[in-house]
Amino acid sequence: MSPINLSIDCVVLGFDEDQKLKVLLIKKFINEKNDYQHALPGDLVGLNEDLLTGAQRILNSLTSIDNLFLDQFSVFGDPERTNDKKDQSWLKMYRKEPKERVVTVGYIALVKMEDYIPHASSFAIDAEWVELNKVSSELAFDHNLILNNGIEYLRNQLDHELVTNLLPSKFTLSQLQNLYEILLDQKLDKRNFRKNVSKDILIIKTDEKQQGVAHKPAHLYTYKNSEN
């Protein structure tokens, strides 16, 4: 019998029409008085469940979509990570052994927010997208740390395939650049950006153009997946 519990916490990032990068947080009560706190969606790993499968299960149960990207980025094993008063308060409500240590594996996902229909899972009273710069600095457990680590990891992993997956199947280069800028939180040079994109043989110019925009319509591009 080992008193170390293993959990997975998912940093689920999405972006939407208002051009903000958001993270999916759940809201949960930490006592009987309706006090609540926000947390990353996460849960204990199933007894016989592979970690990636577990991450997918947890993510899917919270977002009901297939993930576009899901990657393990770190383990958080500070023995004190669940000992904060608020965290203990919550654990006492939901876990048989609230004092047992929980080591958690961080997974990061990047999803199309428009595809997402949020529904809160068992102990979550709400699941909502929160702009990154509006995220409380007092998330449950060490979730602020996990979130920051996850974002940093993601920024190092960005590539055209991953990013185009967040766009409609036909997209403009400005949409793509804009998305990179949001994800990296950094302005990019338009001409240099297009020079790079043009070297990627998987990004293909279609015959179509934007319709009904009050300016010169942009060409639409598509990402050619290697299995196509």
For 105-157, the DSSP string reads EEEEEEEEGGG------TT-SEEEEEEGGGS-S--STTHHHHHHHHHHHHHHH
Record the tokens describing residue 89, joined without a space.
Answer: 């308060």
Residues found near DNA in the complex (CB under 7 A): 172-174, 189-192, 194-195, 209, 212-219
Record the tokens describing residue 117, joined without a space.
Answer: 């229909």
* Residue 4 interacting with a copy of itself (CB under 8 A): yes
| Secondary structure of residue 184 in the 3-state scheme | helix
In the complex with a copy of itself, the residue whose CB is nearer, 51 or 120, is 51
- Contact residue for a copy of itself among 20, 65, 68, 74 (CB under 8 A): 74
- Minimal distance in Å, beta carbon 181 to DNA? 12
Q: Sign of the C-alpha dihedral, residues 75, 72, 163, 139?
A: negative
In the complex with a copy of itself, the residue whose CB is nearer, 75 or 184, is 75
- Contact residue for a copy of itself among 33, 47, 192, 212 (CB under 8 A): 47
Which of a copy of itself, DNA, none has residue 105 at its interface (CB below 5 to 8 Å by kind)? a copy of itself
Q: Return the amino acid letter for 50.
A: D
Residue ranges in contact with a copy of itself by CB under 8 A: 1-6, 44-45, 47-51, 72, 74-75, 77-79, 97, 100-101, 103, 105
